[in-house]
């Protein structure tokens, strides 16, 4: 299924005037252009395929590609199981005819191959995945089928179309539960996932590593995996944002309490070996994560697999996130204590020094309040999400 572009806009400025904006959405905000990285060129390729581009992170990625280089074309492939047609509509308002949407499940290798052969992209940014750790424990088969099988199908289609450049949106869940003395996590930290979500992502990394090293390839695969932790925030102009159904992420759940959509927030466990007994995670703003993927595009090397951690280099506990939401929104955010969820490590936070050294990437949003404020603007402007 191909969605034809509507409300074509030749550039980002005209597109902004056509987007919806709520009372708390600051249309005077302009997003920074990416800086040139120490390796490669910050300018994206002329045609990029974004899998999962109707989802949270993928839609922000597609938006950045369309906005930062007026000549770039973007093809989004998404089955809309967890993604939103509303996100596609928002992208079309920015990119016009430069945005093409194909509603295809990655497991449908024949249709996916046909789409890539008909219009081969210069590179692929692979976000499409199931992403809930607790759900992966309950439904491991779904996660291996989608996150590993979908990736294998994508590689088959890329090979048939002669496409050999891939940036994979991986996860810090591949590291499992490192010992406290191993914090912060570096790229050399052993990868020992403790849930099916992390394991399926690691297995696809292994596939990429092997395929990159395979001899006698006409076009050797060039692949990068970016391992990141928790993502928060939204587009500064509120054109796309976070809208999971059901919502399982901490920041938007807390914000739904502030909006009155939930009576309270459940904290899953306060007996972890952390400073306040609750889980600790490294949060990164979605716009910073997008910048990291753009930097990785410029670092792809034929026959090489590389991986970097993405984060701000320190973790925030669940209680600290709740306090941040209270400060930003002015709401009390009632909490109740629940039991631990299966598969949740106590603490995960990154050492991002390698990508800073190699690609010149560092996070611009380094405070939790700034990330929460960005997400709060989106939710106030779009209290029902993309509905």
Q: Are the beta carbons of 205 and 168 closer than 8 angstroms? A: yes
Burial class of residue 28, CB neighbours in 10 A (0-12, 13-18, 19+): exposed
Strand runs labelled E in the chain: 2-3, 47-51, 73-77, 99-102, 123-126, 165-169, 222-228, 230-232, 265-268, 280-281, 283-285, 305-310, 316-317, 335-338, 347-348
For residue 202, the 8-state DSSP code is H
Known active-site residue 197: yes
Distance of CA 64 to the CA centre of its chain: 13
Taking each helix axis from N to C end, the angle separating 368-381 and 318-329, rounded to the nearest 10 degrees, works out to: 60
Taking each helix axis from N to C end, the angle separating 196-213 and 150-161, rounded to the nearest 10 degrees, works out to: 20
Q: Are the beta carbons of 198 and 142 closer than 8 angstroms? A: no
Q: Count H helices, E strands: the chain? A: 13, 15
296 phi/psi in degrees, rounded to 5: -65, -35
Distance of CA 382 to the CA centre of its chain: 20
Pull the structure tokens for residue 155.
């590689």
Which member of 143, 197, 228, 386 is catalytic? 197
Distance of CA 88 to the CA centre of its chain: 16
Pull the structure tokens for residue 215.
């001899």
**Residues assigned a catalytic role:** 197
């Amino acid at each position: 299924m191909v969605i034809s572009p509507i409300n074509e806009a030749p550039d980002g400025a005209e597109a902004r005037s056509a987007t919806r904006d709520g009372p708390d959405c600051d249309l005077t905000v302009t997003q920074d252009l990416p800086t040139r990285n120490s390796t490669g060129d910050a300018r994206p390729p002329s045609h990029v395929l974004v899998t999962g581009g109707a989802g949270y992170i993928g839609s922000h990625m597609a938006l950045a590609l369309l906005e930062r280089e007026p000549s770039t074309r973007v093809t989004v492939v998404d089955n809309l199981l967890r993604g939103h047609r509303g996100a596609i509509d928002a992208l079309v308002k920015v990119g016009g005819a430069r945005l093409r949407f194909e509603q295809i499940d990655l497991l449908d290798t024949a249709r996916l191959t046909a789409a890539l052969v008909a219009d081969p992209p210069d590179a692929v940014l692979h976000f499409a995945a199931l992403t809930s750790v607790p759900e992966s424990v309950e439904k491991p088969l779904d996660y291996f089928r989608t996150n590993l099988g979908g990736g294998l199908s994508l590689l088959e289609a890329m090979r048939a179309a002669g496409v050999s450049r891939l940036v994979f949106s991986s996860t810090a869940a591949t590291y499992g539960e490192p010992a406290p003395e191993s914090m912060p996590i570096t790229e050399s930290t052993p990868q020992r996932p403790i849930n099916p979500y992390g394991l399926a992502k690691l297995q696809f990394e292994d596939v990429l590593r092997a395929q990159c090293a395979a001899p006698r390839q006409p076009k050797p695969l060039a692949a990068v995996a970016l391992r990141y932790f928790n993502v928060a925030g939204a587009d500064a102009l509120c054109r796309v944002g976070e809208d999971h159904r059901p919502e399982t992420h901490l920041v938007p759940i807390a914000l739904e309490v502030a909006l009155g959509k939930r009576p309270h927030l459940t904290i899953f466990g306060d007996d972890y070996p952390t400073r306040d007994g609750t889980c600790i995670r490294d949060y990164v703003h979605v716009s910073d994560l997008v910048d990291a993927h753009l930097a990785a595009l410029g670092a792809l090397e034929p026959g090489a697999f590389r991986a970097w951690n993405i984060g701000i280099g320190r973790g925030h506990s669940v209680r600290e996130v709740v306090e941040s939401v209270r400060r930003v929104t002015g709401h009390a955010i009632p909490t109740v204590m629940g039991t631990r969820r299966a598969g949740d490590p106590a603490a995960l936070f990154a050492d991002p020094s390698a990508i800073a050294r190699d690609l010149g990437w560092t996070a611009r949003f380094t405070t939790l309040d700034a990330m929460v404020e960005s997400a709060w603007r989106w939710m106030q402007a779009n209290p029902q999400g993309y509905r």
